[in-house]
A and B are shown apart, each in its own frame.
Chain A
Amino acid sequence: MRVYEVFLKPDGKEEFRHAGSIEAATDELALVLARENYARRAEGTHMWLVNRENICVSEEGFIDSNLDKPHRHNDGERVARWRKLQRNKKNNE
């Protein structure tokens, strides 16, 4: 048996989103079962199934190091404050 991750794309410009997973013996069985389990109520217009074995998974801690780098975090607040100040100055002139 294989485990597949199920992705559904709602209508329009929405992106594919993870909907869940399904266990099946073949690609075709996975497709027909995923259709009834995840898409029977018009949850999407397109469906992707990805065999879990084909997903590259990063090891534990691989992306944790970003947590303690505050200099990389910018919420844009200071720039916004400065631009607002400039705008007000210009309006007052």
Chain B
Amino acid sequence: MNDSVLTPPVKEYLLAFADDEHLMGQQHTEWIGVAPFLEEDMAFASIGQDELGHALMLYTLILECPSGIDTYVFNRKSEEWRSCQLVESTHRRWEEALIRHWCYDMAEDLRWELFSDSSLPELISISERALKEETYHRRHAEALVENLLMVPDSKLRLMNALEVVVPQVLGLFSPIPGEEEAISCGVVSGKYSDLLPIWRTRLEERFGVLDSGLFIQADNENRTQRHSDFDYLFGRIREVFLLDPKAVW
């Protein structure tokens, strides 16, 4: 049914979103057991699992073969990933992980809303489901950040974390391979990068006006290039799988 629309460029475009969701989910779940307090450790990993669920829905749509997802994800070469560097980089400081969660989830609903009128009916229902969960992800990030900004030491840490994370968010909004084809066949209603100003407004309403130097887009934009932390992250993802790649789960 979708053969006419799900062309290789459109699949590559959707893959970028699936890979972002997958790696963001993986990064959040890495905090299980080590987040600053018990309740948050559970909550953060749970939110990560929601993101993994979004990735699973998108991979299923792209591959049209649910049983092949594990093999595809675990065996893919690093150059075949289309994730952005924001989700590939390791942030071991809690304040950076929290700021990344805030920044990513304040950008994610904008991305899903681009599918609300998609020519692919599956994408409409996937985005509706994801948007419901994203409401609570944003409330979670907002509630934590709002309270921490009231404590001088915490505020300083968060503001320093923004300097590390905000330049990486620009890569999230950078042009996505296959985007033009996806727009022309109605899979998506517009360019994600056009929504960057909305995200920046949200950011500066929350944290105040930031140094404009943080918003200078790097020339060599990523998605085809992996961050230097990718191999470590991919190793963590495949750790159990590689114990016995032929095992049936």
Q: Report A's interface with B, CB cutoff 8 A.
A: 22-26, 28-29, 31-33, 35-37, 40
Judge whether B42 and A36 touch: CB under 8 Å.
Answer: yes
Contact A32:B143 (CB < 8 A) given known A23-B39, A24-B39, A37-B39: yes
Interface centre among A22, A32, A37 (most CB of B within 10 A): A32
Judge whether A36 and B43 touch: CB under 8 Å.
Answer: yes
B43 partner residues in chain A, CB cutoff 8 A: 32-33, 35-37
CA distance A32 to B140 in the complex (A): 5
Can you list the 3 inter-chain pairs with the closest CB atoms, starting with the nearest?
Answer: A36-B43, A36-B46, A32-B140
Judge whether A22 and B147 touch: CB under 8 Å.
Answer: no
Total B residues in contact with A, Cβ cutoff 8 Å: 14
CA distance A33 to B40 in the complex (A): 7
A22 partner residues in chain B, CB cutoff 8 A: 39
Judge whether B147 and A36 touch: CB under 8 Å.
Answer: no
Where chain B touches its partner, the secondary structure class is helix
- The 19 sampled A-B contact pairs (Cβ below 8 Å) are A23-B37, A23-B39, A25-B147, A28-B139, A28-B143, A29-B143, A29-B144, A32-B43, A32-B136, A32-B139, A33-B39, A33-B42, A33-B43, A33-B140, A36-B43, A36-B140, A37-B39, A37-B42, A40-B46
B158 partner residues in chain A, CB cutoff 8 A: none
B46 partner residues in chain A, CB cutoff 8 A: 36-37, 40
Query: Smallest CB-CB separation from A34: which chain B residue?
Result: B39
A-contacting residues, B35-84, CB 8 Å: 37, 39-40, 42-43, 46-47, 49
B187: min CB distance to chain A, Å: 31
A88: min CB distance to chain B, Å: 60
CA distance A23 to B37 in the complex (A): 10
Query: Smallest CB-CB separation from A27: which chain B residue?
Result: B143
A36 partner residues in chain B, CB cutoff 8 A: 42-43, 46-47, 140
A23: min CB distance to chain B, Å: 6
Query: Smallest CB-CB separation from B50: which chain A residue?
Result: A40
B211: min CB distance to chain A, Å: 29
B144 partner residues in chain A, CB cutoff 8 A: 29
A32 partner residues in chain B, CB cutoff 8 A: 43, 136, 139-140, 143
B139 partner residues in chain A, CB cutoff 8 A: 28, 31-32
CA distance A36 to B47 in the complex (A): 7
Query: Smallest CB-CB separation from A28: which chain B residue?
Result: B143
A35: min CB distance to chain B, Å: 6
A82: min CB distance to chain B, Å: 56
B220: min CB distance to chain A, Å: 37
Query: Smallest CB-CB separation from A40: which chain B residue?
Result: B46
